[in-house]
Structure 1
Amino acid sequence: MSKARLGGATILLATTFLATGFGTTGWQPAIAQSQTLYRFDIQAKPIRAAMNDIARVTGIDVAFAETPAASRIGRPVRGSMSTAQAVAALLDGSGLSYRFSNATTVQILDPARASATTGASAGAIELETIDVIGSGVPGLAPAYAGGQVATGGQLGVLGQRSVMDTPFSVTNYTAKLIQDQAAQSVADVVKNDSSIRNVEPTNVGNANYFVIRGIQIGNAAVGFGGLFGIAPNAQSTLAGIERVEILKGPGAFLGGLSPSGVGGVINLVPKRAGDEPLTRFTTTWISNSQFGGHLDVGRRFGDRKEFGVRANLLYRDGGTPISQQSQLLANGTIGLDYRNDDLRISFDGGYQVLNTDRMNNTVTPLAGEMIPRPIKPNKSYVSPWNYSKFADSYGMLQAEYDVTKDVTVYAKGGISHMDWDQAVEAGTGLRRNGNFTANGARYLIDINRYSAETGIRGRFNTGPFEHEVVISANTFYQARASGLPATISVTPSNIYNPTFSANPVLPPARRYRQNDNTFSSFSISDTISTLDKRVQLTLGLRKQFVDINNYTLATGVLASRNESDALTPIAAIVVKPWQNVSVYASYIEGLTAGTVVGNTFVNAGQVLPPFVTKQYEAGVKVDWGKLMTSVAFFHSTQASGIANTATNTFNDNGETRYQGVEFSVAGEVVQGLRALGGVTLLDAEMTKTANSTFDGKTAPGAPRTQANLGLEWDPDFVPNLTLFGRVNYTGSNYVDAANLQKLKAWTTVDLGARYRIERPGAKPITLQANVTNLFNKGYWTTYPGFSLLYPSEPRTVSLSSTFEF
């Protein structure tokens, strides 16, 4: 429902409401409500904040009037009750009234203010409304004004936290944003964040990599339902995903050691069936000739709608905007869940295939050589026989049980398998005139992963202090098999005028045991709150154990072993001087598995301890009602291994420092105009390098300035039309540690439009068009620390039509 229609509906309902004389809190809802019972434990707090809690638990939608009464302290809501009973209990004695306009939307009104505005205007009531948009899924925080981001999300072992109660920089992108921006993968979603940049474009046939605040993470650092190792290993398609939750900065305490980088944590929340039946079908065309369809179906069953089923099927195939490149994407997911007053159980499973013919790949510049201008984004310098095939299957089971209203036990576990088959050319020795050597190789890899977590959450009081204690344990295991290294072609070429090699003879498709990793840990934390949760202190420790085994290919003989452990703490505080303002400070760490020193060093065979990234962060978040703004100051130090040529030893004394400030904004600027974006200023310096050679140099792949601004506008002169625009700016940065190879700054523009066709007696049809990289801007991106270059994504046009039945 649009804002204009929502405001108009509120006016009409309020007028009818008063005309019939039902102006009291106890008025019974006009629409019969589901008698599903939910467990509530909401303390006395401002009514608007409490309604957010009710929406999170039940998944309802709330249209809330902006009125002084909304800031009154509502009554506590505790125990098992229906949605209507919870709303009635909260509003008892407040002077506010409520009405359910449908099974999942409740409208909160202030009859006193409405009465004061009636009279000469023939009973018309003008109410400025704030939307608290429910997720439609119990357990998820409601969306914030504008619907693009949520008011809260999962914070690892600490559980669900509102943004205003979170002592870190977090963003929780909603299913509405995913759908409205036609996002195909996580890489499309993170374009909205000024602190994150994609190393590789989305859906190009290789793995996704991201740089968060200057520090890289891979797609293996993407969690699924709070666990690493479940989501597809290379790229995560979003057909079955409800939300993309992002924590900027390391998170070793929150979820354990990340399998792929410490720059941040990205968590995918799977879709669940809502109380209302859903059947949605979207047809898509993506330039140059990709056609596809996406079916999304959700149903709930049982007298109290205890059982839910959510299924998604996606298929897309055809030519991409890159010359002579084609791609097939197939994805299927299923989400099953059961819920009652005390128990919640769910299962999620999925299968994904991503096959790309003639995928682009990286090229490495010659040391000390100037970086040549980038190729046109729609061109390719790899031979036509290049291909990439990824197949991922995964499943996850989780359960929560409320032993009492203050004690919950939980457990979750999952498995995944990836089949990786590539024959690709990677470039080396790139010169300023574009000359390079194309080296073809065959990659055959199998990855099996197992992940699990269990824990207990409890709450209790000691005098004026409320404690929320969490004790948990988790484990992650990965076994990787690989084919023998095989070079299949070596071809002198040029990125502007490539020379293609003949179709190579591929080696036999056989895989050998390569390595297996086990990360296990246990943690304990206590969040201590006082003064009606205006002061919250979180303290915790996680003991992490790392066991890495590497094997000699073909023989399977153990070549090296790494056993190490580390203790990672968390200390954070949130202070709310006013209800809509949060001031916070935090300390947290990240871990990267240590290495076994190679045979060329005097200390060969020594197992280095895990490399630690330490982050200090402080910030202020302000909720202005319809607009949320934040500023965060951060300082991180990342340890690394370096060689000492004087002593011929290898140790863990390397260090890079990242510090900066991050501004962000999300929500509605004015009625019908939504904003999402920010600015990140970063100072990244290598402080401890081998023999101090590069001390004081800027860290590779870390621009000093990054900025994003996305706007959505509903023009009054064309009802049901929404226009979208986004500008992304990335400052210049370096490829090499010596700071001799510099990439120029670049700016890209994305545009979009959607139009909703209303149908009497039927659900609307939505027509949508999106263009990314409107001006087909060419630029290079780099993998920090590896001197690898990747070409930019081309201008891409997508058209879609969405039907609901």
Structure 2
Amino acid sequence: MIHDWNGTRVFWLVSVSMLLTTTSSFAQQSNVQPSTGAGQSLPPVAVSAPERRAAPARRQPSSNAVRARRQADRPASAPAASAPGTVGAQRAALPVPYVGGQVARGGQLGLLGNKDYMDTPYSLASYTEKTIRDQQATSVAEVLTNSDPSVRAAIGSSNRYDALTIRGFRVENSEIALNGLYGLVPAYRVNPAPIERIELLKGPGAFLNGMAPQGSIGGSVNVVTKRAYEDLTRLTVGYMSNARFGTEVDVARRYGDQKEWGVRFNGGFNGGDTTIDRQSVRDGVGSLGVDYRGERFRWSADVIYQDDWMKAAARGYTPVKGIAVPNAPDPRINLAQPFDYARARSLTGLTRAEYDLSNNVTMFGAIGANQFGYDKREAPGATILTTSGDALSTSRFQTGKSEAVSGEAGVRARFDTGPVGHEVVVSGSVLNRTDWLGQTNYGNYLTNIYTPTLLAGPGTPVSSFAEGKSDFLGLRSVGVADTLSMMNGMLQVTVGARQQQVIANGFDPASGLETAHYDQSATSPSVALLVRPIKEVSFYASYIEGLSPGPTPPAGAANTNAVFAPFKTRQYEVGTKLDLGRFGASLAAFQISLPSGVVDPVTKIYSLDGEQRNRGVELNTFGEVAPGIRVLGGVTYLDARLTKTEGQLHDGNHAVGAPGWQSNLGIEWDAPFLPGLTATARTIYTSRAYVSTDNIQSVPAWMTFDLGARYATSLAGRPTTFRGSVTNLFDNRYWIGNPTGYVISGMPRTLWLSMSVDF
């Protein structure tokens, strides 16, 4: 059952009507005839000084191949030219791609606005729409796992939803921000079709972005929607084994005498049988984005609809304590029942505006809403009982929905006090989210992870409750920051703090009665120093805090009614960044301390005296290492330890789901013998991960290899790009360890094919 959301129906009718009316008006009023985009050269885009260096001489491909490659790789979304000298325009402009186009030169840092990575005193990576297309990605989690050594998908793509681990901590898909606001993406999976950038901030970021719904300790992700930059009409068709087909349409137009109005539409659908036994999917997405870029006023709006259906989602497993984790099964084996399915719908509306009061003062604000509904029948995850793979499973039916409204408003100013330049910002944010849940539970049954038991039906219900309101979450915050710049930007100091209020209420869905109430606040400060002695190198050091809702004492504790303030996660980080014009790199060392709840074995009092400490070193590289050869990837070393546990029983043990080593290496090579042909290869390595706090249970290290190619050419005068790749080339069987103690079977060998044509 999918729900009718009466509470915000008027909001959606007005939003959609406004966008459709505005778009129609643009088309009628504009005297500019949209072109097909075929054969046009890439418009000039401002680049930083290092990118202006001349490239080494090399063999020049034919003009047709150059044109086709540029058309295939061009950015259809980029900063529009509008009052570039104002502080507001600098914040609104999308950072340009780095050489090779796989990453951008920077990204959004919440309070601090868009920053070049060399001027950012935190670990920041921004992956472009070109990377999404070239990887033929079906989710944000895929792009990050393929590209960044500090990130792994905590849930496999054979499941109905995504989750990540960043620096050894779990981050839920619902904690991804959309254009800087939390609470607006689908709770299960973000379809990348409407996405221009995937921005990854490593480490806690409550000071910069406000608190995420569940804290996002290891890092945060912000996705940026596409905007029209130049006229574009692109059709993409694709295939994914075993029999999954898809198509996507991407249309962009700019209108007006100064091209101040832009409209971008994206629509996509894919469906069919996957590589997992008895599993099939149907995914659809549609988005409409409108923007205006005036001399002092900038405005944008988006409506995004996503509809996902999956039959027989493959869930993970939890091994019982004390046994060795069995060998990973063939990943095609599926414990899901023939009657299992999951259906989810998401509708999001978002608008943002900025106005320059002067060249140095800008006001900004944004508001958005999301409605998400689902119904599903599945096994919530079997418990592995023996080393031979025997397992205990069950069936559960759930229906639910959530409604969220999120917004922010603030002012940004730039001024000087003697030799010191200041960029000051004050911003407030609000998020209200309400959840509803209904559930029916069925009896347990025995199965085996190598030879699953298939049932005719779920059986007789053993318990149930009708759908009702289950939770309310309210987040309120006010943040202030000042970036001080001295010696012509050679020395930069950032200081600031955010006051965060958290309101969390729990309800009994059956009776509607409130069962828990929480209203607490905390302040999260940050200070950072950046030194850039020469334009090619910068050094930085930063301290930043994260916030998560205070925990609830467990049953049996002496203080079950205690209320804890939001607990703080503290991160210290030092690093250096390199920009050689065509090749860039970053090196960072960090320590994150996460409090946790423990029950005193004598007094039985529950307190936040536990702690997990993650220390690590990260190396990231990107850009061109030689003419026609590009790299993307790096290495992460992580020492994640339990430093304070109940009764000191597990002090010093490795943290659950936090591998010691992770590495990614992606290589692209432009073949000199055939202009337009690019060969690609990627390897992903993850070392052993523990899945129990006593460190008795662990999953082995694993490595996958991917191979692919793309060919940019021209067919019938239309720029065309063919792409093909094979992931997990050697069909390795492996477990993915999860910080919750869950183990997930890795994906089998998969073939991906696609063709894109620009009209």
TM score, norm. by length of structure 2: 0.88
Question: C-alpha distance in 1, partners of 2:114/2:153?
Answer: 27
Match of 2:363 among 384, 402, 409: 409
Query: 2:160 — aligned with what?
Result: 206
- State whether residues 133 and 144 of structure 1, in contact with CA within 8 Å, keep that contact through their aligned partners in structure 2: no
**Map 1:274-353 → 2, pairs under 5 A:** 274=229, 276-353=230-307
Code of the aligned partner of 1:209: A
What's the CA shift string for 1:480-503, capped at 9, x where partnerless?
11014x322421011101111221
Question: C-alpha distance in 2, partners of 1:198/1:575?
Answer: 34
What's the CA shift string for 1:446-500, capped at 9, x where partnerless?
111111110100011000000000000001111011014x322421011101111
Query: 1:254 — aligned with what?
Result: 208
Question: C-alpha distance in 2, partners of 1:596/1:730?
Answer: 34
What's the CA shift string for 1:9-46, capped at 9, x where partnerless?
xxxxxxxxxxxxxxxxxxxxxxxxx9xxxxxxxxxxxx
Query: 2:143 — aligned with what?
Result: 189
Question: C-alpha distance in 1, partners of 2:141/2:682?
Answer: 15
TM-fit CA distance, 1:229: 0.6
Distance 1:408 1:499, change over 3 A: same
- State whether residues 77 and 226 of structure 2, in contact with CA within 8 Å, keep that contact through their aligned partners in structure 1: no
Code of the aligned partner of 1:465: V
Query: 1:499 — aligned with what?
Result: 453
What's the CA shift string for 1:544-572, capped at 9, x where partnerless?
00111011221111111111111100100
Question: C-alpha distance in 2, partners of 1:144/1:724?
Answer: 18
Q: Does 1:803 align with 2:757?
A: yes
Match of 1:622 among 578, 585, 601: 578
What's the CA shift string for 1:764-794, capped at 9, x where partnerless?
111111211111211112321x321111112
Query: 2:671 — aligned with what?
Result: 715
Question: C-alpha distance in 2, partners of 1:469/1:349?
Answer: 31
Code of the aligned partner of 1:609: A
Question: C-alpha distance in 1, partners of 2:419/2:718?
Answer: 51
TM-fit CA distance, 1:645: 2.4
TM-fit CA distance, 1:183: 1.2
In structure 1, runs of 5+ residues without a counterpart are 1-33, 35-50, 69-100, 106-130
Match of 1:465 among 409, 420, 431: 420
Match of 1:64 among 38, 47, 52: 52
Q: Does 1:136 align with 2:124?
A: no
Question: C-alpha distance in 1, partners of 2:670/2:55?
Answer: 25
TM-fit CA distance, 1:604: 2.0
Match of 1:362 among 280, 291, 316: 316
TM-fit CA distance, 1:65: 4.2
Question: C-alpha distance in 2, partners of 1:598/1:773?
Answer: 42
Aligned residues: CA RMSD: 2.2
Secondary structure, counterpart of 1:483 in structure 2: strand
**Map 1:432-511 → 2, pairs under 5 A:** 432-484=387-439, 486-504=440-458, 510-511=466-467
Query: 1:682 — aligned with what?
Result: 638
- State whether residues 215 and 263 of structure 1, in contact with CA within 8 Å, keep that contact through their aligned partners in structure 2: yes
- State whether residues 491 and 500 of structure 1, in contact with CA within 8 Å, keep that contact through their aligned partners in structure 2: no
Distance 1:133 1:240, change over 3 A: closer
Question: C-alpha distance in 1, partners of 2:589/2:323?
Answer: 36
Query: 1:766 — aligned with what?
Result: 721
- State whether residues 62 and 133 of structure 1, in contact with CA within 8 Å, keep that contact through their aligned partners in structure 2: no
TM-fit CA distance, 1:231: 1.5
Question: C-alpha distance in 2, partners of 1:55/1:338?
Answer: 23
Code of the aligned partner of 1:566: A
Question: C-alpha distance in 2, partners of 1:319/1:657?
Answer: 42
Question: C-alpha distance in 2, partners of 1:231/1:435?
Answer: 37
Code of the aligned partner of 1:781: I
TM-fit CA distance, 1:134: 9.6
**Map 1:221-232 → 2, pairs under 5 A:** 221-232=175-186
Secondary structure, counterpart of 2:271 in structure 1: strand
**Map 1:640-659 → 2, pairs under 5 A:** 640-659=596-615
Secondary structure, counterpart of 2:174 in structure 1: helix
Code of the aligned partner of 1:245: E
Distance 1:540 1:498, change over 3 A: same
TM-fit CA distance, 1:763: 3.0
Query: 1:172 — aligned with what?
Result: 126
- State whether residues 194 and 706 of structure 1, in contact with CA within 8 Å, keep that contact through their aligned partners in structure 2: yes
Question: C-alpha distance in 2, partners of 1:601/1:374?
Answer: 38
Question: C-alpha distance in 2, partners of 1:509/1:338?
Answer: 48
Secondary structure, counterpart of 2:314 in structure 1: coil
Q: Does 1:149 align with 2:91?
A: no
- State whether residues 133 and 142 of structure 1, in contact with CA within 8 Å, keep that contact through their aligned partners in structure 2: no
Distance 1:497 1:474, change over 3 A: same
What's the CA shift string for 1:688-730, capped at 9, x where partnerless?
1111111110001111111110000001012110111000000
**Map 1:716-735 → 2, pairs under 5 A:** 716-735=672-691
- State whether residues 55 and 141 of structure 1, in contact with CA within 8 Å, keep that contact through their aligned partners in structure 2: no
Question: C-alpha distance in 2, partners of 1:503/1:134?
Answer: 49
Question: C-alpha distance in 2, partners of 1:692/1:509?
Answer: 40
Secondary structure, counterpart of 2:52 in structure 1: strand
Question: C-alpha distance in 1, partners of 2:443/2:100?
Answer: 52
Question: C-alpha distance in 2, partners of 1:368/1:429?
Answer: 11
Q: Does 1:373 align with 2:322?
A: no
What's the CA shift string for 1:194-224, capped at 9, x where partnerless?
111111123x342211111111111112110
What's the CA shift string for 1:355-402, capped at 9, x where partnerless?
110110121101111000011112212222111111111110110000
Query: 1:743 — aligned with what?
Result: 699
Secondary structure, counterpart of 1:790 in structure 2: strand
Question: C-alpha distance in 1, partners of 2:259/2:77?
Answer: 17
Question: C-alpha distance in 2, partners of 1:575/1:134?
Answer: 34
Question: C-alpha distance in 2, partners of 1:450/1:622?
Answer: 40
Secondary structure, counterpart of 1:361 in structure 2: coil
Code of the aligned partner of 1:238: P
Q: Does 1:524 align with 2:480?
A: yes
Query: 2:738 — aligned with what?
Result: 783
TM-fit CA distance, 1:55: 4.9
- State whether residues 444 and 509 of structure 1, in contact with CA within 8 Å, keep that contact through their aligned partners in structure 2: no
Query: 2:383 — aligned with what?
Result: 428
TM-fit CA distance, 1:335: 0.5
What's the CA shift string for 1:731-755, capped at 9, x where partnerless?
0010000000011000001111111
Query: 2:20 — aligned with what?
Result: none
Question: C-alpha distance in 2, partners of 1:429/1:495?
Answer: 8
- State whether residues 709 and 723 of structure 2, in contact with CA within 8 Å, keep that contact through their aligned partners in structure 1: yes
Question: C-alpha distance in 2, partners of 1:382/1:201?
Answer: 14
Q: Does 1:794 align with 2:748?
A: yes
Q: Does 1:691 align with 2:647?
A: yes
Secondary structure, counterpart of 2:719 in structure 1: strand
What's the CA shift string for 1:322-372, capped at 9, x where partnerless?
111100000001101111000011101111111110110121101111000
Question: C-alpha distance in 2, partners of 1:338/1:52?
Answer: 20
- State whether residues 657 and 685 of structure 1, in contact with CA within 8 Å, keep that contact through their aligned partners in structure 2: yes
- State whether residues 636 and 661 of structure 2, in contact with CA within 8 Å, keep that contact through their aligned partners in structure 1: yes
Query: 1:21 — aligned with what?
Result: none
TM-fit CA distance, 1:644: 1.4
Q: How many residue pairs get matched?
A: 688
Q: Does 1:589 align with 2:545?
A: yes
Distance 1:640 1:375, change over 3 A: same
Question: C-alpha distance in 2, partners of 1:494/1:803?
Answer: 46
Code of the aligned partner of 1:654: G
